[in-house]
Structure 1
Amino acid sequence: MVDSINRKIISELQKNARISYAELGKKVHLSAPAVAERIRKLEQAGVITGYALKVDLDKLGYPIVALVQCKVYQTKERAFKALLLNCDEVIECLNVTGEQAFLVKLAVESMAQLDAILESFIDMSDTNTMMILSTPVERVVPATFSS
């Protein structure tokens, strides 16, 4: 299903999901209808699961982005997940291996707002907070995928 041409298509879509079928076809040496058909098949097979909007959080008024490692107390996991679902500042949450079972990504307007959110976590988990300074690499699939 995922041959070398499909890998190139996915790689190009990762760079620019709004690329036209004609332009994408030129890059992978296929006609626009052939590219459209391949993309349709990749979507139907569940390989391509959606298309995402990328934004500059700072320009939207969220200059502070933090990662919070959370060691959730026994019997508090269900309540902790509910808290995260109701916290609008949570933009991503990963359930990971290790003692710090959750890695939560937050976008906030101020340090006071971050502090208030961390305060709401205190009854359910121990936390370790890291501020994101920059994102030097951001990919959906490994760079070697289209090789």
Structure 2
Amino acid sequence: MDKFDRKILVALHENGRLSFAELARRVNLSAPAVADRVEKLERSGVISGYRAIINPEKLGYPIQCVIELTVKNLEYYGVVDKLKAMPEIIACDSITGSSGLMIRVAVDSMSTLQEVIARLMQYGDTKTSMVIDQPVPPRIPALREDD
């Protein structure tokens, strides 16, 4: 990966809807060269998809929280399948430490949150923390200069 690939990744992370012409202008390459580089980044798995960033609050889900769920080892995969079916769960990471899963939830009310926690408690111990702000939004890791 060279400096042009890094510039393309930064630009696409900021706005995944940029045209090849606009990307080319930003990185100082031709549009066909940029298209070729983007295709190579996609094929290699560096770029794994494009998506809109949705604000749950604007959709009527003003309450967001992070729930740590400690699941017994033998039940882990079955629990994960059940979590995938819960629409209130907007993200879930498998983590090390005393908890096995870190779950991000968006709900419309405290009573809905209480229902979600009650459902999760049947799978293991929970610890809930309310999200009050996101001072560091999702971002790409530092891109190393390999050339």
Normalized against structure 2, the TM-score is what?
0.91
What residue in structure 1 maps to residue 104 of structure 2?
A: 105
Asked if the contact 1:62–1:107 (Cα under 8 Å) also holds between the matched residues in 2, the reply is yes
Amino acid of the structure 2 residue aligned with 1:130:
S
Gaps of 5+ in 1: none
- State the distance in 2 between where 1:5 and 1:16 align: 16
SS state at 1:141 partner: coil
SS state at 2:36 partner: helix
- State the distance in 2 between where 1:91 and 1:136 align: 19
User: How far does the alpha carbon of each residue in 1:76-133 deviate from its partner, in whole angstroms, 9 at most, with x for none?
Assistant: 3233212201211111111100111100011111110010011012222111101111
What residue in structure 2 maps to residue 122 of structure 1?
A: 121
Q: Percent identity?
A: 37
Within-5 A mapping of 1:51-130: 51-130=50-129
- Greater Cα offset, 23-32 or 69-78: 69-78
- State the distance in 2 between where 1:140 and 1:32 align: 25
What residue in structure 2 maps to residue 145 of structure 1?
A: 143
Amino acid of the structure 2 residue aligned with 1:38:
R
What residue in structure 2 maps to residue 16 of structure 1?
A: 15
Gaps of 5+ in 2: none
Amino acid of the structure 1 residue aligned with 2:10:
S
Pair 1:90–1:108, CA change in 2 (3 A): same
- State the distance in 2 between where 1:39 and 1:78 align: 35
Instruction: Provide the alpha-carbon RMSD of the alignment.
Output: 1.5
